[in-house]
Each structure stands twice: as C-alpha cells, then as structure tokens.
C-alpha cells in the first residue's frame, strides 16, 4: 500500500502524460463547479487551494474539506454526475481535469484502483469522525481539532503559520458554530499560547501545545459535552 503523498505523485505523473487531462485555471473565489450542476469530471490540484461546501436543508453552509496542491477531488461524480457540493478556489488555482470514465481507466492501467479505493475509504473515515465530533463534543474542542487538522494538512510551520489565510467565517463553517464564538475561542487559544496570528494575518498553530490541551480535555469528559 502506498502513502497519500506517493499516490498523489503517481497520479500527477499519470496526468502529466495524459492527452485527455485538460489544464484549467480558476481565479480566487470562483467556483470549479456548483451544487446542483452536472459535472462528470475528476480534478487534481497542480497549484492552489480549493474548498468544498455543502448546504444544509435550512440553507446553512458547511465547509466539508480543504484541498491543496497534490490533492484530487470531485469523486462524488462517480456515483452521480449531479453535484451536491460546491467546489470553490480559495486562491488562484491550477487544475488538471479529466472525465471520470477516463480517470478510472487510467487508474486501472496503472494498477492504482486499490490505492484509490483506500484513499476514498480514509476520507470517508475522516468525514465520519468530523460528523461524530459535531454531535458529541463542544465547539471549542471542535475548533482545536480543526486547527490541528488544517496545520497538518496544509504543511504549516510554527515560524510562518498556515500557508494560506483561513477566515473566521470559514472556521465557523467547519466547526458548526457562529463567527462570534469562533472569535471568542481564538482569543482564548491565543491567551493560552496555543495559537498566534502572524503580522500578515495567518494563523500560527502551536501543534504540540494545542494537542496537549485537547488531550487534557479528553481526560475530563464533562468538558467535551455538547454545549447547550
């Protein structure tokens, strides 16, 4: 079994020599595709950053995930060409896109179908954990988990912080709470030395300290109960 990084590298090499893979440039804040639209393509991020958002029945936005260079997304087209989620470029982004049918055929030719399935299973497990957290832990704990996940995902350093700006609105969509509460928790995390904000407004996550703080809260189940 290959790692996510190696899988991404092999996928990139496949797309580099694939005449059916089209390069597409998406400006910041423009949609790659929108919920409700028909789209039968898979996407690989050559450069940039993309977020996936879904609307609840009440019309509230929920940020499902953030993908960056080396990631693929759009696998929902494998079950139906009609998108339930919206994919939006968070920065100027360069994509490689390919029809789902051709994408799967190329994976089969490269003997990568099994690894692709494992990566999808890993994503599903992560999303289930996020859903479980929404139902079982309070907002502050969820924010801590989100910041750790973003720091690891985006390859942040404790010197420069997250490589891309993440707004409090985007954090609120990921955590499932309001912007004022996110602001309150962020101030608390800063006061505790768990995070900081760089001069250019990037979030600096002190991973070891934040992880230790969350682990201490794990030892006090009452603190993790869903806030009323």
Say which residues have a Cβ less than 8 Å from residue 225's Cβ, sequence separation at least 6. 137, 138
Indicate the pLDDT class of residue 51, thresholds 50, 70 and 90. very high
The C-alpha atoms of residue 170 and residue 53 are separated, in whole angstroms, by: 10
Distance separating the N- and C-terminal Cα atoms of the chain: 43
Query: And the tokens for 139?
Result: 């907002």
pTM: 0.78
DSSP 76: G
High-pLDDT (> 70) share of the chain, %: 91
Q: What are the C-alpha distances in Å from 95 to residues 19, 75, 76?
A: 14, 15, 17
Given a cut of 80, whether residue 228 has pLDDT beyond it is no
Domains in the chain (CATH in brackets) are: 4-129 (2.60.120.10), 138-224 (1.10.10.10)
- Residues 83-137 pLDDT 10s: 999 999 999 999 999 999 999 999 999 899 998 998 899 888 888 887 777 777 8
pLDDT at 157: 59
Strands 203-205 and 61-68: unpaired
Among the ranges given (5-19, 81-95, 150-164), the one the predictor scored with the smallest mean pLDDT: 150-164
């Amino acid at each position: 079994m290959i790692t996510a990084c190696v899988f991404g590298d092999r996928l990139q090499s496949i797309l580099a020599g694939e005449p059916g893979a089209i390069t597409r440039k998406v400006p910041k804040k423009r949609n790659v595709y929108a919920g409700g639209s028909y789209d039968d393509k898979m996407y690989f991020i050559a450069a940039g950053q993309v977020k996936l958002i879904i609307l609840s029945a009440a019309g509230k936005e929920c940020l499902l995930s953030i993908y960056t260079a080396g990631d693929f997304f759009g696998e929902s087209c494998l079950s139906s060409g009609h998108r339930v989620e919206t994919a939006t470029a968070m920065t100027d982004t360069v994509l490689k896109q390919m029809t789902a049918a051709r994408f799967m055929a190329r994976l089969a030719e490269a003997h990568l179908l099994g690894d692709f399935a494992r990566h999808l299973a890993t994503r599903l497990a992560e999303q289930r954990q996020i859903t479980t957290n929404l139902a079982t832990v309070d907002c502050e704990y969820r924010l801590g988990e989100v910041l750790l996940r973003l720091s690891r995902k985006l390859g942040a350093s404790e010197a420069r912080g997250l490589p891309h700006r993440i707004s409090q609105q985007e954090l609120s969509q990921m955590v499932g709470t309001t912007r004022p509460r996110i602001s309150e928790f962020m101030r608390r995390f800063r006061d505790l030395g768990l995070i900081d904000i760089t001069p250019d407004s990037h979030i600096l996550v002190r991973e070891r300290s934040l992880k230790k703080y969350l682990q201490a809260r794990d030892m006090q189940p009452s603190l993790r109960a869903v806030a009323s």
